[in-house]
Structure 1
Amino acid sequence: MSEPDGAPGPERSSALPAVRAEPPKRVRVQHLRAAKENGEKLTMLTAYDLPTARIFDAAGIDMLLVGDSYGDNMLGHSGTIPVTVDELIPAVRAVARGAKRAMVVADLPFGSYEASPQQAMASATRMLKAGGAHAVKFEGGRRVADHVRLLTDSGVPVVGHLGFTPQSENILGGKRVQGRGDESAEQVVADAKAIEAAGAVAVVLEMVPAAVAERVSGELSIPTIGIGAGAACDGQVLVWLDMVGMGGWSPRFAKQFAAVGAEMDRATRAYIDEVRAGTFPGREHTYWD
């Protein structure tokens, strides 16, 4: 018998693990591909510490990226280039301890993978063994296809990164949109196909025209994760400080979903006022014999 008008049809099961209290099911590489096949959007945020990872994980984020953005967002560097593997590993370890469901992806910072596939493997091994990451991410297309292949063949999931690649900012001439014009767009497509063929499980597309990102997303069988690349990507990622209004300068593509920075400022000023006025701590905050 057919369903009456307006009645709900059979519920389609999600390709992604459900968000539940205990025990959570980990997001794995097969879930990423299944989500793309089902047309389910993937979600990713950066995280650099345990409390933040716990909050995002409990909320149901699919992937947590311990990015080299740790450098300019948390360590005070002017960009990502100064970040080292040694600096990132404690952050990766903290995030991995806080994430029960999300896939934890660790960036390989500048200088830790470019020289050879073997260098990339050594850095990735540290991220998995010492940091507890489930996958690694690094920048580049055809030039790092052999790196992706070695890691994949060795059991390390790899997320690619194309378009604007912050580690190459100096040679790109600054924070500039990539993939504009037919020739540049073709290079992005060719790079994406090369790392897919090498075994990448997903690819981040940063600051590329929406039409180019849509084309790449349509031609790949692995998910695309956009950041400043339009809504046609298979998922989205943001730096969490930009997402909640904690950053300083914020790029055009970073929507602010909350004003956490302003609320922290308000709370800090209230704390200062109460301490100086002698109203904090009150009786309810004090131990008595």
Structure 2
Amino acid sequence: MTNTILILDGGTGRELARRGAPFRQPEWSALALIEGPQFVSAVHRAYVEAGADVITTNSYALVPFHIGVERFASEGVLLAARAGQLARDVADASSHSVRVAGSLPPVCGSYRPDLVDLDRARPILNVLIGALAPNVDHWLAETLSSLAEARLCAMLTAPTGKALWLSFTLEDDGATDASALRSGESVAEAAYLAQEVGAAALLFNCSQPEVMEAAISSARAILGAQSAIRIGVYANAFPPMAADAKANSELSPIRADLTPEGYARFAAAWCAAGASILGGCCGIGPEHIAALRTGVTA
């Protein structure tokens, strides 16, 4: 495994809202693409200026769940292409090398493996992949709660020839195995799947920082210290999410203890456990990413 640490960006939706971008339900972070794309560019630039090596397209909410079936049918390709172009433009204008990750979301809802519907997800993901592909360096299938979602993303992205990063969300309610996906499937199974599909990275995101170190250890036990598959983490700043949570149904509270310095302390432990990709998810902003750049990679 490489010793070079890659720094990801942080959460997009929260940062858009904090900056006064158009932001409401049900569109969530997609609304800025529709009504204020300059805010999306500003968020990307903020993360680049904070030291991110990778920025992620603002395509997480570009699904019928958020923008509606009719709008997705008529504008989905345009909006996804816009998301890719905005990220590409910021990356290309950076004074340091910045990669663009194409976000592929859980189409049927975050944290809800019980709602996974592969037949429904397939055509939606195909639209996103086709529109994003010209402007992304690799794929980031993120907040996956089950192995089935990951397999589908691997199958659909394979024809593009671009590397795939798989990122899973973990059980974090304290009542279950800290090395389990929200589906109940194990991190070990996720690691085997990453090997099977030829993923370039296996990450864990949108879960509490406290559960990440155990997941890293479980993944590394399967992949081995010399694996070419990177391990990464980008946690959120939320309290535990309920099993029946509705994705982005409201702005969840943010933990007061996860200051940039507090988050960087968690990240240092993840790095020591074997992670070589570090970033942030919901509630983790540019100031946190700057702390990772100066505190963890220094």
TM range (shorter): 0.5 to 0.7
Which structure has more RCO (C-alpha within 8 Å, separation ≥ 6)? 2
Give the one of 59, 66, 69 matched to 1:82: 66
Structure 1 residues 238 and 182, CA gap change in structure 2 (3 angstroms): closer
Give the one of 217, 228, 233 matched to 1:226: 233
Residues 217 and 223 in structure 1, CA contact (< 8 A), matched pair in contact too: no
Residues 165 and 202 in structure 2, CA contact (< 8 A), matched pair in contact too: yes
Give the one of 151, 155, 178 matched to 2:161: 155
Give the one of 41, 46, 52 matched to 2:5: 41
1:123 deviation in Å? 2.4
1:54 deviation in Å? 3.7
1:105 deviation in Å? 0.9
Alignment pair present for 1:195 and 2:198: no
Instruction: Kindly report the root-mean-square deviation, in angstroms, between the aligned alpha carbons of the 2 structures.
Output: 3.9
TM-score by length of 2: 0.52
**Residue in structure 2 matched with residue 180 of structure 1 by the alignment:** 177
Residues 124 and 156 in structure 1, CA contact (< 8 A), matched pair in contact too: no
Give the 5 Å matches for 1:1-289.
Answer: 37-46=1-10, 49-57=40-48, 60-67=51-58, 82=66, 85=76, 87-100=79-92, 101-111=97-107, 114-115=118-119, 120-129=125-134, 132-138=135-141, 139-143=144-148, 144-164=150-170, 176=173, 180=177, 187-206=186-205, 207=207, 208-220=211-223, 221=227, 222-228=229-235, 231=270, 232=273, 233-239=275-281, 242-244=284-286, 257=291
TM-score by length of 1: 0.53
Residues 243 and 257 in structure 1, CA contact (< 8 A), matched pair in contact too: no
Where structure 2 has 5 or more consecutive residues not aligned to the other structure, the ranges are 13-38, 109-116, 236-265, 293-298
Residues 59 and 104 in structure 2, CA contact (< 8 A), matched pair in contact too: yes
**Local SS of the residue matching 2:52:** coil
- Give the fraction of aligned pairs with identical amino acids, expressed as a percent: 12
- Give the structure with the higher percent helix: 2
Structure 1 residues 243 and 118, CA gap change in structure 2 (3 angstroms): closer
Residues 56 and 101 in structure 2, CA contact (< 8 A), matched pair in contact too: yes
Residues 152 and 200 in structure 1, CA contact (< 8 A), matched pair in contact too: no
Where structure 1 has 5 or more consecutive residues not aligned to the other structure, the ranges are 1-36, 72-79, 165-171, 246-253, 259-289
The count of residues paired between Structure 1 and Structure 2 equals 195
Q: Deviations over 1:115-154 (max 9, x none)?
A: 365653442111113xx12222222553132530342244
**What amino acid is aligned across from residue 276 of structure 2 in structure 1?**
D
**What amino acid is aligned across from residue 243 of structure 1 in structure 2?**
G
Q: Deviations over 1:60-103 (max 9, x none)?
A: 422112255668xxxxxxxx952665555423321111103211
**What amino acid is aligned across from residue 145 of structure 1 in structure 2?**
R
